[in-house]
Structure 1
């Protein structure tokens, strides 16, 4: 909502537990004033630090202006100028339902016909805020945009502790925590469709102390994007932290045609005052209610034979597992790796991939026989296949 406090116009994005507050400054620019616990009354706005004058927490700073730190946006105009300065034009608030509110802020370049829309979607009960950006222009020819962040957020705390997750095959999700000091820390990937192979698009940011399970303030964020992403955490000379999220600008210059709308991925975050446990439950509730198809529906429980048998199984072993699965109340039995290949039977992970025919020596009666055994046991049947993979030691290769 837009409110007046102390004679100044504000834009408020709120959940039940969090306030994200912006101010339209005297110079016409749009600045973040506050991100933290929900304020009890709008009269409290006048007591917030004025970040429009000295610190200049601009909501979407562009490259080439007076900001000395990492920008959210960079463009090359038709005349070669790499600078943009955005002024606030208007905003609207849409009530999606009783729980969800979308705030859209329109910014326009002071000189060039370039517009940016900032989208803030607040999920009140889940305490989730989702942000993304749209960019459009009406210059005569295409422009080149080289940075186009989904979001820019600012924090003011005595200290910041970043927890990130990295990994590799057989050592996934290795957690590490470090205190952020002056300068930049980046979590990113340049692996394209394998974006999360070594670094995961998720972080925990402990405010004043490392993130804990059941207590303390923590901001948890992720991005709805399967390609190259980048999170930039920059502590400035005043000890403030800016968090920039979006597509990785590395090798990502985009030629934007006139009137074409460029929409960024969504950055999604929650601010928990009861540790990461509460934060993760916020994400779970949001995903169940708004992201997953039939999020509140029942899901099958599943028994996979892999950890029990690896490649060493036959029809009798699998039949026994199906009976045991049924006794446990499991809904579905899944036959995993090792059921295929004859010239190069799948006895280990070095042969057979790509030859999707049943191994006669292991399963002489084929898959239909296993399906019948599953039906007799009272469980559903599923099968593992990895069609995008092939071993050099295979008939297909």
Structure 2
């Protein structure tokens, strides 16, 4: 079942970027560095094969520096060693909101995902695809995490593929696309809401402890009241050209859910994917469940650059002929609504060619 093709075009813009991906093995740890032009997301498989996020921020001068981060910036006691998990499983050690919840074929609800291996495929000079295999040590259950990176525009697409070889169907209760983990002094959420004719109304608030959920259950026209796009500012509210900000969105036109959780160490977990409300999925043996991609970029120079990163990426990789020219269109709807006739339309049309109008659309409502 493949949801990646159900992309909801949320941006009228462009983009291209590649992540340089490197792996380092220090002692019993495996470090996986995903670097774009300005940023780095660093994952680490520890000696127990837990895959955690140890860094997400501006790229450091040497990849060897990432190995020192956990010891140099150690916080207070962490009881589970998976608080910063790269893909949080439920029913075992995690104390926070999970990215994946399952009921195994034998009825057990516990899941423990451990690092197995990773590989990198370079798709072009600018685009690379990292895949990381995680498996349960007891059940024949596997999740593969994908990170598609676009170097020049600091953009990453992330999704997961879930499959198993258990003796019977496995019930997927939750199946997120991405699980991010951020560290900062404080966090500010810029979200959007709306209705017909007043879409994308912005709201900004400081994130407090607990879970903030952005979701929709409408099915069709899912973005009507709550679009999936959001921004997270770190340390203080970002402005157009100043501040560190994460810009994220789910590439999916159906029901979505994004959980934003400030944990007891004051770090932020972001889990985004298909809304699992009333939507358990019975996964057959060897069947692959492919989630839609979660798209994000990180800017240290304000919201403007974050938005432009998304626009550049969309124009290059999602919008048909994104760098081509478009006809300039005149639509009569807001000018006349249902009350129009030939003289009114003629008055609208005269001299429009001088303004660069190429096409006229006669709109009489739905």
Q: Confirm or deny a common fold (TM above 0.5).
A: yes
Deviations 1:59-102 (A, max 9, x none): 11211111100011011011110011111111110111001111
Equivalent residue, structure 2, for 1:21: 42
Between the aligned partners of 2:285 and 2:64, the Cα distance in structure 1 is 43
Normalization by structure 2: what TM-score? 0.89
Q: Which position in structure 1 is the counterpart of 2:234?
A: 207
Flag structure 2 segments of 5+ consecutive residues without an equivalent: 1-20
Match for residue 112 of structure 1 among 135, 139, 155: 139
Deviation string for 1:212-232 (max 9, x for gaps)? 111100000000111110110
Secondary structure in 2 matching 1:104: strand
Separation in structure 2 between the aligned mates of residue 14 and residue 30 of structure 1, nearest angstrom? 18
| Deviation of 1:172 (Å) | 2.1
Q: Is the CA contact 1:163–1:211 (under 8 Å) kept in the aligned structure 2? A: no
1:35-67 deviation line (CA, Å, top 9, x unaligned):
111121112112212589935311112111111
1:306 to 333, 336, 346: 333
CA deviation map 1:159-210 (0-9, x unaligned): 0000110011333222111111111111111111121111111101111111
Q: Given that residues 5 and 45 in structure 1 are in contact (C-alpha distance below 8 angstroms), is that contact kept between their aligned partners in structure 2?
A: no
After superposition, where does 1:1-397 map in structure 2 within 5 Å? Answer: 1-4=21-24, 6-7=26-27, 8-49=29-70, 54=78, 56=82, 57-337=84-364, 386=366
Tell me the matched-pair count: 339
Q: Is the partner of 2:351 in helix, strand or coil?
A: helix
Find the residue that maps to 1:31 and give its secondary structure: strand
Q: TM-score, normalised by structure 1?
A: 0.83
Q: State how far apart, in whole Å, the 1-side matches of 2:255 and 2:273 are.
A: 9
Secondary structure in structure 2 of the residue aligned to 1:277? helix
Aligned 8 A contact 2:185 2:235 in 1: yes
Larger RCO (CA under 8 A, 6+ residues apart): 2
Structure with larger Rg:
1
What is the alpha-carbon distance in structure 1 between the residues aligned to residue 285 and residue 299 of structure 2?
Answer: 41
Tell me the distance in 2 between the aligned counterparts of 1:135 and 1:173. Answer: 33
